[in-house]
């Protein structure tokens, strides 16, 4: 049996090149080597208020972006989290084996909590639901960006704790990070990671941005006071631009050094913008085709959920039996 892979994205905001290079690109690369489930995690999205009609539209958009990136729904299951009630059911059972101290230590929780006066319980519980998403399918590999590595460690801890309390039940998953692009930084501020929830107009390149917007955002990217690219003293903004170029091009470290050493920042930005646009234009064309086909996406998502629901239901049955319920 092939190792199972699970990963997902929140249908919030606009998917950006960080999401693509950190996760989606890897999914496409490994989809034929493993049994993959790619999820649109709408139950995670609602940990922050989402305007309902907007959320519905974003769920469809996210699914279409997976397919436009090259996920083949005949090979991988593409599904929406809330279509399969077992996610929420298992999350409760895992909540009951998770010390609250483990959750309060999560960096993302601390950062999100610091931004709000009143913190929703969902923000704290989020990583338990994420553990449930993964463990429900007994996934062995979870390809994500670097910001999710801590949540993956927590998933491993929860799986191990459950196994030690109730006997061997769950696969303990491994994290798979890309070698280049695991943490793309904000173009306006290279000290913070690029995020859908950051609102600055020149923070991110969205996957559906038109070419002129992409170029403008990259040309405005924050760099440093060096006259040109110096690999020994380059600041975070310049390194981020080089990483974006390298991740899209697939070039080696040596090739990047040879191409860019001494280059003026204006020229570097032009090269990066050309590279990003060359990749996103055909991607956007596929996106337009996918969304113009009536009923196609709905069919993909229905079929995806139908395909994997039996696995999820089997796990919930097993967990209930182990815990003495059902
Ligand atoms: P939000 O601000 O809503 O949390 P996000 O940009 O962090 O949005 P998520 O939906 O939380 O996006 O994450 C989807 C996937 O993209 C995860 O695998 C995550 O690790 C990855 N990812 C997110 N941001 C980056 C980034 N800047 N660089 C690399 N990977 C990223
Ligand atoms: Mg995030």
Of all ligands present, the nearest one to the C-alpha of 41 is: 1
pLDDT band for 272, please (50, 70, 90 cuts): very high
Which of 6, 13, 17, 22, when mutated, tests ligand 1's pocket best, judged by the most ligand atoms within 8 Å of its CB? 22
For residues 52, 53, 59 and 65, what is the CA-based torsion angle, rounded to 10 degrees?
A: -140
Q: Rounded distance, CA 51 to CA 14, Å? A: 14
Tell me what pLDDT residue 290 has: 98
Report pLDDT digits (tens) over 137-186: 999 999 999 999 999 999 999 999 999 999 999 999 999 999 999 999 99
Residue-level pLDDT at 11: 98
Residue nearest to atom 13 of ligand 1 (CA): 9
CB 84 within 8 A of CB 307: no
- Determine the Cα–Cα distance for residues 239 and 244; give it in Å rounded to an integer: 9
Three-state SS for the chain is CCCEEEEEECCCCCCEHHHHHHHHHHHHHHCCCCEEEEEECHHHHCCCCCCHHHHHHHHHHHHHHHHHHCCCCCCCEEEEHHHCCHHHHHHHHHHCCCCHHHHHCCHHHHHHHHCCCCCCHHHHHHHHHHHHHHHCCCCCEEECCHHHHHHHHHHHHHHHHHHHHHCCCCCCCEEECCCCCCCCECCCCCCCECCCCCCCCCCCCECCCCHHHHHHHHHCCCCCCCCECCCCCCCHHHHHHHHHHHHHHCCCHHHHHHHHCCCEHHHHHHHHHHHHHHHHHHHHHHHHHHHHCCCHHHHHHHHHHHHHHHHHHHHHHHHHHHHCCC
The mean pLDDT of 231-244, rounded to a whole number, is: 97
pTM: 0.97
Position 116 pLDDT exceeds 90: no
Q: What is the pLDDT of residue 326?
A: 81
Residue nearest to atom 6 of ligand 1 (CA): 195
- Across 35-42, average pLDDT: 98
Centre of ligand 1 from the C-alpha of residue 196, in Å: 7
pLDDT at 1: 80
Residues belonging to the active site: 112, 193, 196
d(CA 232, ligand 2 centre) in Å: 31
What is the pLDDT, as a whole number, of residue 322? 98
- Which of 12, 18, 108 has the most ligand 1 atoms within 8 A of CB, as the residue to mutate? 18
Q: pLDDT tens digit string along 80-112?
A: 999 999 999 999 999 999 999 999 999 999 998
Span from the CA of 258 to the centroid of ligand 1 (angstroms)? 31
92 contact partners, CB below 8 Å, separation of at least 6: none
What pLDDT is attached to residue 96? 98
Residue 42: pLDDT band (50, 70, 90) is very high
Q: Which residues line ligand 1 (CB under 6 A)?
A: 9-10, 12-13, 18-19, 21-23, 144-145, 147-148, 182-184, 193-197
């Amino acid at each position: 049996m092939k190792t199972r892979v699970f990963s997902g994205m929140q249908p919030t905001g606009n998917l950006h090149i960080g999401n693509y290079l950190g996760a989606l690109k890897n999914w496409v690369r490994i989809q034929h080597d493993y049994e993959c489930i790619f999820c649109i995690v709408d139950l995670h999205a609602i940990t922050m208020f989402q305007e309902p009609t907007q959320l519905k539209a974003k769920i469809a958009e996210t699914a279409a972006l997976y397919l436009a990136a090259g996920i083949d729904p005949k090979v991988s299951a593409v599904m929406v989290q809330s279509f399969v009630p077992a996610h929420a059911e298992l999350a409760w059972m895992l909540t009951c084996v998770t010390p609250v101290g483990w959750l309060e230590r999560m960096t993302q929780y601390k950062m999100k909590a610091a931004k709000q006066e009143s913190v929703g319980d969902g923000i704290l519980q989020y990583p338990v639901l994420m553990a449930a998403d993964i463990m429900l399918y007994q996934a062995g590999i979870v390809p994500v960006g670097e910001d999710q590595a801590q949540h993956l460690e927590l998933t491993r801890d929860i799986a191990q704790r459950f196994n030690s309390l109730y006997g061997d039940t769950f696969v303990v998953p491994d994290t798979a990070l890309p070698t280049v692009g695991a943490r793309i930084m904000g173009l306006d501020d290279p000290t913070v990671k690029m995020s859908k929830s950051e609102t600055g107009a020149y923070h991110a390149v969205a996957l559906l941005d038109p070419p002129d917007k992409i170029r403008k955002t990259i040309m405005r990217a924050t760099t440093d006071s060096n006259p040109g690219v110096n690999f020994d003293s380059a600041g975070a903004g310049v390194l981020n631009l080089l990483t974006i170029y390298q991740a899209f091009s697939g070039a080696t470290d040596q090739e990047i050094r040879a191409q860019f050493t001494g280059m003026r920042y204006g020229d570097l930005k032009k090269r990066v913008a050309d590279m990003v646009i060359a990749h996103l234009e055909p991607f956007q064309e596929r996106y337009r085709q996918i969304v113009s086909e009536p009923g196609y996406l709905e069919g993909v998502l229905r079929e995806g959920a139908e395909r994997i629901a039996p696995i999820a239901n089997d796990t919930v049955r097993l967990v209930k039996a182990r815990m003495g319920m059902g």
